[in-house]
Amino acid sequence: MDDKDCIILKIISEEKNITKAAERLYISQPALSYRLKNLEKEFKAQIVVRNTTGIVFTPQGEELLAYALETLTKLTTIRERIHNMKNSVQGSLRIGTSSVFAHCELPSILKGFLTLYPNVEISVKTGLSSKMYTLLQKEETTIAILRGDRFWPEEKYMLSEEPLCLAACHPVDFKDLPNLPRINYGTDSALKDMVHNWWRETYPCPSKITMEVDSMDTCRQMVLHDLGWAILPAIGLKEQPSLFTRELYWRDNTPVLRRTWMLCRTSSLNLSAVQAFVDYIKDCYHLNNSLHLPSHKIIHPSLSDLQS
């Protein structure tokens, strides 16, 4: 079994279809099937089975797949380390980032970074912060930019913190919220818990959720069309000055804040591309001096508003 076999197992696990896997690998379907049969002969075990949903790995196949993925990760790491034996900043940079940060902040950051370091090869994965955290733990990414607070024992930098806000098409009063249609959107469990705790602390009854949408962007569009109100992080309101927004506060009058963090392993800083990116981000967010807090058009509520 070699690195090509590892790649084959990885692609098959992603596609769950021999034909589609063969297309991605730029080989014929018979050639891929032949390679699989040779692997099964080598390990004297059936690796995959076919059912109505496609290709499924057997328990022995799952064990072999885990080894293949680990081998590919180690191979990528050693290639990066060898690239970094040279003096120039080059090599690959694997970033996992929350979808919100990827939409609002990352494009301009990457453009500026690649202008300075054109020899760095960047790959990006986006999704829920919880998933990106898992990818970092498994070393499938070298840097993770996540929303919300998480324990991480190695390199950890807070990039920013911004308030959670009530957002509506027109002015509304906090005391009227339980009776007004609310638009909710899919997000990670940490933010859901924060919003839920704020609501339970502030109101004795559940909110009137009339829409459940898949993303913050969709939610914001619904609010812009006056279909209800929503609770959104201020990072998603920067380009919407027409919306009525008010920060959320806990009962003790402290703001409800959402933080953005950059995490990586300490050993990854030995890679020139990773160290350069970390330094670039720290400079962008002024981490050596003070936190970089994006500016937002926010109307601050009075304490009496929040307690009424």
Q: How far apart are the first and last CA of the chain?
A: 68
pLDDT in tens, 187-227: 888 889 999 999 999 999 999 999 999 988 899 999 999 99
Q: Which residue has the higher pLDDT, 83 or 100?
A: 100
Pick the CATH number of 3-81 from 3.40.920.10, 1.10.10.10, 2.60.40.10, 3.40.50.300: 1.10.10.10
Residue 298 has pLDDT above 50, yes or no: no
The label of the residue with tokens 């081998």 reads 71
pLDDT in tens, 62-82: 999 999 999 988 888 887 777
Instruction: Return the CATH number of the domain spanning residue range 89-161+258-284.
Output: 3.40.190.10
The predicted pLDDT at position 241 comes to 80
> pTM of whole model > 0.75?
no
**Residue among 281, 235, 261, 256 nearest 117 (CA):** 281
Q: Which residue has the higher pLDDT, 89 or 262?
A: 262
- Quickly list H helices, the chain: 3-15, 18-25, 29-43, 59-83, 99-104, 106-116, 129-137, 189-202, 216-224, 272-284, 303-307
Structure tokens belonging to residue 221: 């569009």
The predicted pLDDT at position 142 comes to 95
The predicted pLDDT at position 292 comes to 36
The label of the residue with tokens 């919100």 reads 100
Domain borders along the chain are 3-81, 89-161+258-284, 163-257+300-307
Pick the CATH number of 163-257+300-307 from 3.40.190.290, 3.30.470.10, 3.40.350.10, 3.40.50.11900: 3.40.190.290
* Confidence band of 53 (pLDDT split at 50, 70, 90): confident
Residue 290 has pLDDT above 60, yes or no: no
The predicted pLDDT at position 78 comes to 80
CB distance 262 to 144 below 8 Å: yes
Q: What does pLDDT average to over the chain?
A: 87
Q: Which residue has the higher pLDDT, 91 or 94?
A: 94
Mean pLDDT of 149-153: 92
HSE-CB of 103 using CA atoms within 13 angstroms: 14
Reduced to 3 states (helix: H, G, I; strand: E, B; else coil), residue 186 is coil
The predicted pLDDT at position 127 comes to 92
Does this chain's domain 3-81 share its CATH topology with 163-257+300-307?
no
